[in-house]
Structure 1
Amino acid sequence: MRAVLSRLLPLVLLVLLMAAGPAPAQSRAWWLGGVVGSGAASAQTDPAPAPAETGIDYRAWATFAGQTERMISDPTTVSDRLESLRGELAAWRERFLQAQSANKPRIDTLREQIAALGPAPAEGSTEPPELAERRAELNTQLAAAQAPAIAAEEAYRRADGLIHEADSILRARDASKLVRRDPAPVNPANWTMAAAALSGFATDLWADLSASWADPARRSSLVQAAPLLLGELLIAALLLWQGRRWIDRVIQRLQDRLPTGWWGVVELPLSLTQVILPVAALLFLTSALEQTGFLGPLAESIATDGVMTAGLVISVMLWIGWHVFPADERLTQVVVLPAPRRAEGRLHVTLAAMAMGAEALLAPAFTAGAYGVAAVSTVNYPVTALIGLLLFRLGQLLRQSAAIENDGQETPGFRPLILTILGKAAMAIGIVGPILGAIGYIALADAMVRPALSTLGLLAVVALLQRLIYDIYAVVTRGDPRLARDALIPVLISFALVLAAIPVLALLWGVRSADLWEYWTRFREGFRLGDTRISPTDFVMLGVIFGIGYGVTRLMQGALRTTILPKTSLDTGGKNAIVAGVGYVGIVLAALAAITSTGLDLSNLAIVAGALSVGIGFGLQNIVSNFVSGIILLIERPVAEGDWIEVGGIQGIVRGISVRSTKVETFDRTTVIVPNADLISGQVTNWTGFNLNGRLIVPVGVAYGTDTRKVERILREIAEAQPLVVLNPPPAVPFVGFGADSLNFEIRAILRDINFMLSVRSEINHQIAARFAEEGIEIPFAQRDLWIRNPEALTGRAAERPAAALPPEPSSVANPLRDDETLREEPGVSDHAPGYGREDERD
């Protein structure tokens, strides 16, 4: 404590002195020299930095590393010893990894100081003595500051290499165990040996119990604890036998009183008591037996390790089986099967649980080291064969469930596909595993069959947790649990559960925990980019800082949009441009701040970026062009949101402008994405961007013989009567020409708001029709007559006369027309009679 106070007191006094105000230079120098001591340097030179205290004893490390190298090179070193050495090496490596960042701030400062002096002089040239001396001094300080990190880097590489050597040896030994062939358990010659081993095990267990009973002290302690032991044994038996039914009844009563959506939320957590209560009862029972001191070594290993493991395995497997294949129709099914098939699934899981429990009960005492590999393999093989058979049947049930879910679908869904793959894999392992075990590859069979069953159980637990998440989300949002499967939040949580299950699956299939920790260490170590090491924590920090910057940007945009800009006189387009510009600048600044926070030196990427810029320029020139055009649109604002524009034959309202494209909503209510480059380089008509005024032209035709001055007067009165027509300049009614059918006039008027052009045009047309009807002015229309050369061909008279009596028809002179050969065109009659007539238009 005194040492800490002696260090803190000068710093406190220094802060107080600085807060008191400026002091004379001499007194300030004297105070610094007296309080801080001789560590202060003169104004002309910087002190050499002291190396960072890493707390690593490199001599002890060198001694340990040498011993480890010798033991790894020794083939007689047992695997347990190698695992222990590997753990110590991993601890050393972790310390070296942390020590590599020693003096990093000081190293960065020295590098910046050296860079400030400019580039070093080329060979044969010199620089001023002051600069040369300062550069040499800074380089010396930099080398001293880098020494701890360099030493840590070298030690890290040595520890990492030793870890790789130990892992290689351990993996090779594990592989040799898998392919080792033991005595075949189906060989009748091994059955006698297995029977003898079981008999010897029973004899040893009886002898162990007899010896304990013969000891008066042990017998007395057992008799005294007998009532308690019998009560706990009875409770454990009742919980194992009837506990599931009791808890099911409680759950059903709660479900009857709750809404349907709460069933899954209540059932799954409460059903865990079906595992907790029996295991707790067995734990109390074995603890009481152990405290009596009655049990011998063999019986104690069975009671403490075997009973607890067997109880846990049976309880968990039964809990999984009764939830994957539920008897209650109200629960959401993990696998969709009819009731008979679900009952079969529960039976298979129960048999597997009993087999695994029996094996776990004897495993701590009935070992290969005590009773022989052949005997233990022969005794355990029936369990392997039974599990393989049950795996085959469970695989068939999974495939049946996938077929039911795929019924009526053209393409299989993701879930049925996964069920099909799992079913086929379970069936294959259920066949291959027992066959390999039968011919002597016991270790390989066990490494296939038991992990496969455990994998199905783990995936079932993940599916049950996902179902619980969907049910909770449905209850919180008051929605349908079936629709919750498509919501984003529960899907993300479900995906996280799947990712969390991957390391557990690796452990189930024999991957060593040390290997998993090695992968995690490699992941945390990151990679080097130039002189900078980038680790996952840097990426996390990058994401956090960028997220904060992005959130601040969004808040600023919201404040501008709702609080500040509405109080200005800017138009809507200008407001949107400012908000968008702030958003882009904020995102760029947030990205720069996030990259800088990771310590990434962007100058290291300059050469790579320069090399890639040419290829990127050619490949992304259209995107870059649209991006630059978007920036121009936001700055110059020739087009803004809400404008009525016409570009490339498309008319519509601008609904949004981004950095790459512009959204235009046509009058058909369809959205067209227009690249920004088309708005800058192409011809664009903006009807409302700069002025809402616009000219309306309404063509009008009247019959020949009508008084043209009268028509002009009427049309002008109609135009001037419109509220949206501007009277200065006044509307014009020019007589534009003589048409084929009519005398052509036009109403040309300027509207205050061109957006109402269609409604004004419609109103003018209505008034023209009404006024012309009142004034007796005729609006002409085109009339079409059809002249038929030989109408008898249509009436059938040509068929009554002989063909020879028909006079020949000249090929170049048409027959004269008669009055009865002129037919007026009727609605619906085609005016294209091939070979019989011609068309002529007249008034």
Structure 2
Amino acid sequence: MFFRLLRLILVVIVAVLGQPVFDASAQAIGHGSAQLIADQTKVIQDLTAKTDGLEKRLGDPDQDDAGLVDIRLQLEDISRAALTSALAFRQRLNDINARVEVLGPPPAQGQPPEPAIVSNERSALVSEKAEINAVVASAQNLSVRVNGLVDKISVMRSELFRSVITKHYDLNDALSPQAFSDAHDQISGLYKAVSSWLSFALKFKFQAILAATLMALALAAVLLIGGRRLFGRIFEADPTVEEPSYLSRLSVAFWSTLLPTLALGVFFASAVFFFNYYNVLRGDIGTFLNALLTVIGMVFCVNRLTNAALEPRLPNWRLIPVATGPARWLVGLTTAMALVLGLNYFLSVVNEKMGSPLSLTIARSFIATIIIGVILILMGWLKPFKAQDGSWRPWPAWLRFLAVGLGLFTIAAALLGYIGLSLFVAFQVVVTGTVLVTAYIGFLSARAIGEEGGFADTSVGRWLSENSSYEDTALDQLGLVVSIAINLMIVVVFLPLILLMWGFQPGDIEAWAYKLATGVSIGSVTISFLGILSGIVVFIIGYFLTRWFQGWLDGSVMARGKVDAGVRNSIRLGVGYAG
């Protein structure tokens, strides 16, 4: 009772002596809080209006998968903005709770009333807190609503994918003579569009085309030449080596596929960028060019990979021990399959841009899937292994049945009118198969480099052994680091490619990358993969800096000072442990 009375006396003294200052401070804080409440209320209203517009777009029956992904990304931005708006009140709520705690609870019934200034202050704080809680609740409700719309989009995308894959088409119109006439008209229209643009571009944009092409070639040359100088003997097969190691064959197959393909991709991407920068391309020609360059890049990658893995000209560098004749057949069949699929994709872009009839699209896809199915069957029936007695042996049973089964399934689905399903299977066999095989070779190379003594056998390892003080143990540790780096590079490069091949949109990958970067919540624990990766990078950099400092301290400082060998070794160990 005494302490309560003492606190009441202190409050009265503060109220009497410091009333002007207290009132001025309270009014200033109240004004600032009111402005914050008004600003965040306006933010929530704007976000709600934007959400209403996006929800209306979801009702559009012509909405495609890319449009749904775009809506989802915008909704996720709205959700983050709403939560950010709610968090803007965190500091003010902490201040209000602290001030209410200082004021203490109101007097109980039957006790003397507290001063009016204290009662008014408590009422103002409670009222302000109620207003803030109302805005925070609105932000939370909007976030919940947005999350519901995101879930709805996921369901819509699944239904859209199933409808495309399982849709049945009538083949009668597609295989009629009218389809051939439509195809002739479309080819004529494409020729006229390209020839008219080309004559205009060569007449008025020749210098811009030349400059753009040269700059794109320069960028690709930098990547290709730099890759050759960096990787040296692991870039191309050396015909003078009679018995290359397994690691050498893996490295050549992987890097001789990846680097030229990347160089070609850089050339194409930079050429299109500079063409657009100099206003060389018009709308339809730009679309056709992008599709054509994509096809060329895909066919080049498939051909390069099969040549690197099978090496028809250099049997000793061959990853798969098949005979030379079947190796050439496999390279040709695989390239032909990629070419058919690429032409089908290019013509689909032309059909969409020129407004071709549906029958022409069905006919084109039907022919492409039948050809790919036949090629798969031929590859499965091929006998690539030659025994010592001169007889030819087929593929292992599981691989042979898989290839023939996929070919028959593709043909049967096309003949039954399920063109979308047939085309999807054919596309995944060619493109996803190429990506997976390249990634698998890369993983095998990384595993071989990470094994004991593996990195020392590479050209980089031999150079380090000859030109540095690295011992075998240090080279093995460095090989482990290189192995991990190659694996990370493969995941970063090839995982998005596979996701794109299986129908995911770039927006999906962007959203997942954002979640990985900001952290994944498991219960009350948040794991940030970007933070983990940053820690690994810091550790690697610190490790190499420590090793360099040890060598410099030992060779340049203590050696000149003629420090005793035992003391030098102790200092080196101490620096290493500290690092």
TM bin, normalised by shorter chain, reads 0.5 to 0.7
Distance 1:37 1:194 in 2: 85
Amino acid paired to 2:186: F
Describe how 1:693-842 pairs up with structure 2 within 5 A. Answer: none
Distance 2:240 2:342 in 1: 32
Query: Structure 1 residues 151, 464: CA separation in 2 closer, same or farther (over 3 Å shift)?
Result: same
Partner of 1:347: 332
Partner of 1:96: 82
Describe how 1:280-319 pairs up with structure 2 within 5 A. Answer: 301-302=287-288, 304-319=289-304
| Matching of residue 176 in structure 1 with residue 163 in structure 2 | yes
CA contact (8 A) 1:183 1:190 kept: no
Amino acid paired to 2:78: W
CA contact (8 A) 1:251 1:266 kept: yes
| Matching of residue 478 in structure 1 with residue 456 in structure 2 | yes
CA contact (8 A) 1:205 1:299 kept: no
RMSD over aligned Cα, in angstroms? 6.0
Distance 1:100 1:395 in 2: 61
Which of 119, 125, 150 pairs up with 1:163? 150
Amino acid paired to 2:88: A
Deviation for aligned residue 1:89: 2.2
Q: Deviations over 1:352-373 (max 9, x none)?
A: 2322343344343234862312
Which of 487, 496, 499 pairs up with 1:506? 499
CA contact (8 A) 1:282 1:307 kept: no
CA contact (8 A) 1:396 1:427 kept: yes
Partner of 2:46: 60
Deviation for aligned residue 1:306: 3.8
Partner of 1:536: 527
Partner of 2:370: 385
Partner of 1:469: 446
Describe how 1:194-233 pairs up with structure 2 within 5 A. Answer: 194-208=179-193, 220-221=203-204
Query: Structure 1 residues 397, 127: CA separation in 2 closer, same or farther (over 3 Å shift)?
Result: farther
Deviation for aligned residue 1:272: 4.6
Describe how 1:508-657 pairs up with structure 2 within 5 A. Answer: 508-516=501-509, 534-537=525-528
Distance 1:128 1:538 in 2: 59
Deviation for aligned residue 1:464: 2.6
Query: Structure 1 residues 538, 451: CA separation in 2 closer, same or farther (over 3 Å shift)?
Result: closer
Higher strand share: 1
Query: Structure 1 residues 165, 448: CA separation in 2 closer, same or farther (over 3 Å shift)?
Result: same
CA contact (8 A) 2:254 2:438 kept: no
Partner of 2:412: 435
Deviation for aligned residue 1:387: 2.3
Q: Max radius of gyration: which structure?
A: 1
Deviation for aligned residue 1:196: 0.9
CA contact (8 A) 1:110 1:138 kept: yes
Q: Deviations over 1:383-414 (max 9, x none)?
A: 222223344556678999xxxxxxxxxxxxxx
Query: Structure 1 residues 78, 209: CA separation in 2 closer, same or farther (over 3 Å shift)?
Result: closer
CA contact (8 A) 1:86 1:166 kept: yes
Distance 1:329 1:127 in 2: 101
CA contact (8 A) 2:369 2:423 kept: yes
Amino acid paired to 1:168: V
Deviation for aligned residue 1:38: 4.2
Distance 1:127 1:498 in 2: 74
Q: Deviations over 1:154-190 (max 9, x none)?
A: 2211222233334433443333222222232xx5972
Distance 1:138 1:198 in 2: 76
Greater shift in the superposed pair: 71-80 or 82-91: 71-80
Query: Structure 1 residues 144, 477: CA separation in 2 closer, same or farther (over 3 Å shift)?
Result: farther
| Matching of residue 154 in structure 1 with residue 141 in structure 2 | yes
Partner of 1:683: none
Deviation for aligned residue 1:127: 9.4
Q: Work out the percentage of aligned pairs sharing the same amino acid.
A: 14
Q: Deviations over 1:503-553 (max 9, x none)?
A: 543331223444555666777685696xxx654349968x979x99xxxxx
Query: Structure 1 residues 536, 147: CA separation in 2 closer, same or farther (over 3 Å shift)?
Result: farther
Distance 1:264 1:87 in 2: 40
Distance 1:189 1:320 in 2: 35
Given the two structures, how large is their TM-score scaled by the length of structure 1?
A: 0.44
Q: Deviations over 1:220-258 (max 9, x none)?
A: 459x789979x99xx9xxx9xxx9xxx999934598699
| Matching of residue 458 in structure 1 with residue 435 in structure 2 | yes
Amino acid paired to 1:376: T
Describe how 1:47-86 pairs up with structure 2 within 5 A. Answer: 51=36, 57-73=43-59, 75=61, 84-86=70-72
Higher helix share: 2
3-state DSSP class of the match of 1:371? coil
Amino acid paired to 1:454: V
Partner of 2:465: none
Query: Structure 1 residues 522, 269: CA separation in 2 closer, same or farther (over 3 Å shift)?
Result: closer
Distance 2:63 2:131 in 1: 41
CA contact (8 A) 1:398 1:422 kept: no
Distance 2:280 2:334 in 1: 36
3-state DSSP class of the match of 2:350? coil
CA contact (8 A) 2:252 2:308 kept: no
CA contact (8 A) 1:208 1:296 kept: no
Deviation for aligned residue 1:445: 1.3
| Matching of residue 364 in structure 1 with residue 341 in structure 2 | no
CA contact (8 A) 2:43 2:85 kept: no
Amino acid paired to 2:74: E
Amino acid paired to 1:161: G
Distance 1:127 1:540 in 2: 57
Greater shift in the superposed pair: 291-300 or 89-98: 291-300
3-state DSSP class of the match of 1:388? helix
Distance 1:136 1:37 in 2: 14
Partner of 2:462: none
Distance 2:122 2:399 in 1: 67
Distance 1:249 1:283 in 2: 26
Amino acid paired to 1:478: A
Which of 361, 364, 384 pairs up with 1:376? 361
3-state DSSP class of the match of 1:387? helix
Distance 1:373 1:425 in 2: 32
Partner of 2:565: none
Distance 1:352 1:149 in 2: 58
Partner of 1:764: none
Distance 2:59 2:338 in 1: 44
CA contact (8 A) 2:310 2:318 kept: no
Distance 1:517 1:506 in 2: 12
Query: Structure 1 residues 113, 259: CA separation in 2 closer, same or farther (over 3 Å shift)?
Result: farther
Count residues with an aligned counterpart: 470
3-state DSSP class of the match of 1:251? coil
Distance 2:235 2:509 in 1: 42
